[in-house]
Amino acid sequence: MSTEDKQAVHKLVRRKYAGIASGGGGCCGPQSTCCGGGGVQAVAEGVGYTDAELATLPEGANLGLSCGNPLALAGLRPGETVLDLGSGGGLDVFLAAQRVGPTGRAIGVDMTPEMLERAGKNALAFTAATGLANVEFHHGQIEAIPLPDASVDVVISNCVLNLSPDQGRVWKEIARVLKPGGRAAISDMLLLQPLPEAARRDVEALVGCIAGAALVEEVRAMVLEAGLTDLRLDPKDGAVDAMLPEGDPMTEHLRSLFPAGARARDYIDSFSISARKP
């Protein structure tokens, strides 16, 4: 992909997510989330968050943009520094902050100013409610993370890497910022087989977590090329059905792009991706 094409993808994603941050609804309409779904709470519960976790969040932190729960495999410990790539309204940052405690840090990076503004307001509410002041948000692209080498213990991300036009570069950046022995815990959409050309070129499918997804074996190669080890790629049962229920606008839109009788989960699934830096 050319530099111009990569810039065009960034511009498109930034514009769409700016609209979501400003309250303009999801990627496919006012009721949809970016990956489909009937509502933010239903999607979050369907991909693995508990009611107890969601109840600790500031209002507006959960925007229904998840395809899994990376914290379920991150194994966060008190005092650790955790980085969330594409942090949005701060959902995973605030949950991580509670797990690493006052001696730890939870850092979010996002390229959309409107998302960062929303996350900053949520951070004030989070601190007021919990007494924790261990969260911070930075503007930047995940292909060029604005943090020093070997500065974080854990990198998490939730349904964001598929939006990058250079996922191989993202994995190298993850390896760069991790401390030796640090770990990555990523939830993302991966392809089980190549998409039909119509779906691959569709703008809504791109921002809806589908068209930008890489094949499982491509992700495996990128992670290993970045120098990470102990790689696990595990599909999350039920996540796609939660994100793309029958009757949802994104579900119906995708159906129009697939061969007759084909379903989204024939092509794509939500995966938990874990790896470690030697």
Q: What is the pLDDT of residue 174?
A: 98
39-70 pLDDT, tens digit per residue, is: 677 677 677 788 888 888 888 788 877 888 99
**Percent share of the chain, pLDDT over 90:** 55
> Could you give the number of structural domains in the chain?
1
The CA-CA-CA angle for residues 152, 87, 112, to 5°, reads 120
Question: Considering the chain, what percentage of its residues have pLDDT values greater than 70?
Answer: 90
Pairing status of strand 81-85 against strand 105-110: parallel
pLDDT at 31 over 60: no
Range in 36-50, 80-94, 95-109, 223-237 with the lowest mean pLDDT: 36-50
In DSSP terms, which residues pair with 249 in a beta bridge? none
- What is the pLDDT confidence band of residue 209, given thresholds at 50, 70 and 90? low
Q: What is the pLDDT of residue 136?
A: 98
CA 89, 93, 95, 101 torsion-angle sign: negative
Would you state the pLDDT for residue 71?
94
Q: How much is the pLDDT for 246?
A: 77
Tell whether the model's pLDDT for residue 28 goes beyond 90. no
Residue type, 163: L
Question: By residue range, what is the domain housing residue 272?
Answer: 3-276
Q: What is the CATH number of the domain that holds 129?
A: 3.40.50.150
Residue 206: pLDDT band with limits 50, 70, 90:
low
Q: Average pLDDT, whole number, for the chain?
A: 87
The predicted-structure confidence for 253-265, as pLDDT tens digits, reads as follows 778 888 898 888 8
Distance between CA atoms of residues 208 and 240, nearest Å: 12
* Mean pLDDT value across residues 183-212: 81
